A = this chain, B = another copy of it.
Amino acid sequence: MKKSKKDLSQEEDSQVQVEGTTRRGFLSTMGKIAAAAGLLGSGVGMEALSGCAKEPTTSSKSRISAAAAKMMVPPGKWDKYYGLWSGGPTGELRILGLPSMRELLRIPVFNTNTGIGYGPTGDSHSAKMLEEAGGYGLGDVHHPHFSFTKGDFDGRYAYAHDKANGRIARIRLDYFMTDAITSIPNVPAIHGLYPQRYPKTGYVFGASEFETPMPNDGRDIVPTGNNAAQTKNYWTLITAVDGETMRVKWQVIVDGNQDNMDTDYKGLYCMATCYNSSKGWNVPTMTKPPVMWAVFVNIRRVEAAVKAGKYKTIGDSTVPVLDGRHGSDLTTYIPVEKDPHGISCTPDGKYAVANGKLAPKVTVIDLEKVGDVFEGRAKPKDAVAAILTVGVGPLHTVYDGRGNGYTTLFVDSQMVKWNIEEAVKAYKGDKKIKPIKQKLDVQYQPGHAAATQENTIHPTGEWLVSLNKFSKDRFLPVGPRFPENDQLIDISGEKMILAYDNPVYIEPHQADIALVDRLKYIKQIFNPKYFANHVESGTENVKRVGPHKVIVRLTGVAPILTPVYFHCKEGDLITIIYSNNDTVENLSHGFLMTLHNVNLNINPGETKEVTFLADRAGVHWYYCTIFCHALHLEMRGRMIVERVPGYKSRPIHSNRLKGEPSWNELFKDFPVVGKA
């Protein structure tokens, strides 16, 4: 820490600055320069005032720019865009407001969230859904996407995949809650995910990354032989899930390791990059194949083949699997530059751009030509419209709707802006054209990028976010686990201008950014009538429904919780049914039973249910966990558990009886803090 800790003198000037002046000077200078230059009314040139535009690289020279001022949303004002962010192995999604970059919500998907009562210690519906989706306690979300209608976000759903356990989930965008999780058969890990863009979603496609034997039940494993290199009979699949029924419709076996996915704007294809075409099994063998490709799956042909029964199934699975390996007419393999990572279609629907990762190049694929390849009118290589050298480590390309691509360069730590049609012309031989427009340093090592509405037919070309994997020296130190750094970049003008560094927690990969009006079905209160178990105020009761089964029907109307006590006996299975009968937006209640591992979050109009064992005699308080009223603390009650002779109560652990701590042994041999 000491070496990397910055000169604390920066504290004194950690205020608004531009061009080396103080905050106050800034405000003065900005006005004078602006007035003098006559720029303010002209609609151009605000960027020219930015220190960032001139000296974007080092932190010591960063200044509050006009772009930074523009991204601030004043108190009480709303953001212009919704951002949908992934949460990596936290298993969650996040909703951000842009341009302010403020996190508005975490949506638990493949994880447990004790705050909102999602998962095993929460409401029974979410716990059951997770259990039936395989019972996994974690997930790894990389590529969430909004659903589409006619090439634009339609505000119905978001989809997310779990790379850890091969699952695809759906989130309703009326309530911002996970409503279904599909476990994908025959694959261990779904990595790339993309929804069908046209006519609508429709299909949600998932690419499995890790090749395995099929079926993967150990039948091929030789007990004593060398299995290490035996990957030639391992395969990966591209899976199509119906975004409305959430059932798997079909799977296509493809060659190589899949990585990222995309779909076109006509509903003809889904496509995936392949970074390991020879199915290597360590870094040297994975990175030295002779040829790489992007595979295109012809949706209509697959549908016809399924209809005609031209498929097989694998092992016990009942899902139709088709053969899309080289030679199949269901797929075509377009050669692209080495170890491609991201692939994304241009908003005009003409091209797909694959990013080289290990080659400093992007490959522009002509989608009309891909059709010709499928029809036998062209060779796969003829579909390559351009190969452009952009810099080292290109991973993902996004768009502004004005003909430009913005490609992240992981190794160079840059964002490169280039013109698509100019790249095509240059590739055709026009040597006068310089398709590269600007390179902007980012801090540091960008993975994905996201731009406002960029992956729709209505890109707005306003803001670009560089999702940087390393933050290094950009933020106050917080120990060995650094935040990542989402940098907001103004792309509304000729030049990219860095506006803001936003630290983010583990581990966002990708984001969609939608204009606010695209999310048009949002509800803030539940309709009580949709809950079959709704408890009307005045009908609360406690009922013994079996020798060891008690149902408690409660209501909350701030600050009154009814009932405020109930009796039961050791060994009773207690079912809590709790209706929040407040009818005001934002007035949620919690229900936490002390020492019993249960917490619910019940929103206005909502009813939630949980069942647990009353396994310790005594008085146990339950209380509201969401501050709801001046008398919120008083919103509590008692579960009075009578002793049952012979019943073995849950023991109180010895640490607690003695008042001794449990230690994280990780620190057992570490110096005491401050004594090192």
Contact = CB atoms under 8 A, between A and B. Distances in A.
A227 interface: yes
28 contacts: A4-B524, A11-B78, A11-B516, A14-B74, A23-B69, A24-B46, A32-B35, A62-B74, A79-B476, A89-B590, A112-B114, A134-B656, A140-B625, A164-B595, A173-B673, A174-B479, A181-B662, A183-B656, A188-B595, A210-B594, A213-B618, A221-B640, A221-B641, A244-B672, A276-B634, A481-B601, A482-B524, A482-B585
A90, A410, A505, A627, most chain B CB atoms within 10 A: A627
Nearest to A182: B661
A-B interface, 9 closest residue pairs, ranked by CB to CB distance from nearest = A31-B31, A218-B617, A59-B76, A248-B659, A132-B662, A176-B479, A183-B656, A90-B115, A480-B603
A570 interface: yes
A203 interface: no
A115 B89 contact: yes
Given A69-B23, A516-B8, A521-B674, A476 B78 contact: yes
A474 to B, nearest CB: 6
Contacts of A431: none
A664 interface: yes
A664 B443 contact: no
B503 A102 contact: yes
Interface string A502-515: 11011101000000
Interface string A108-121: 00011111110011
Nearest to A559: B283
A524 B1 contact: yes
B221 A617 contact: yes
Contact of A316 (B11, B133, B652): B652
A674 B148 CA distance: 13
Contacts of A244: 672
Given A133-B655, A498-B75, A667-B179, A621 B210 contact: yes
Interface string A480-521: 111100010000000000111111011101000000110001
A91 B592 CA distance: 13
A481 B218 contact: no
Contacts of A97: 475-476, 503
Given A1-B523, A105-B481, A472 B132 contact: no
A246 interface: yes
Contacts of A266: none
B479 A175 contact: yes
A227 B565 CA distance: 9
B88 A625 contact: yes
A68 B79 contact: no
A479 B522 contact: yes
A466 to B, nearest CB: 11
A24 B41 contact: yes
A552 interface: no
A102 B16 contact: no
Contact of A103 (B114, B505, B530, B672): B505
A553 to B, nearest CB: 17
A104 interface: yes
A199 interface: no
A192 B587 CA distance: 24
A241 B91 CA distance: 35
Interface in A653-671: 653, 655-667, 669-670
A661 B246 contact: yes
Contact of A133 (B4, B500, B662): B662
Nearest to A12: B80
B46 A218 contact: no
A212 interface: yes
A541 interface: no
A95 B478 contact: yes
A216 B656 CA distance: 14
Most buried by B among A75, A135, A188, A499: A75
A535 to B, nearest CB: 15
A623 B498 CA distance: 33
A213 B619 contact: yes
A597 interface: yes
Interface string A219-251: 101010001100000100000010011111100
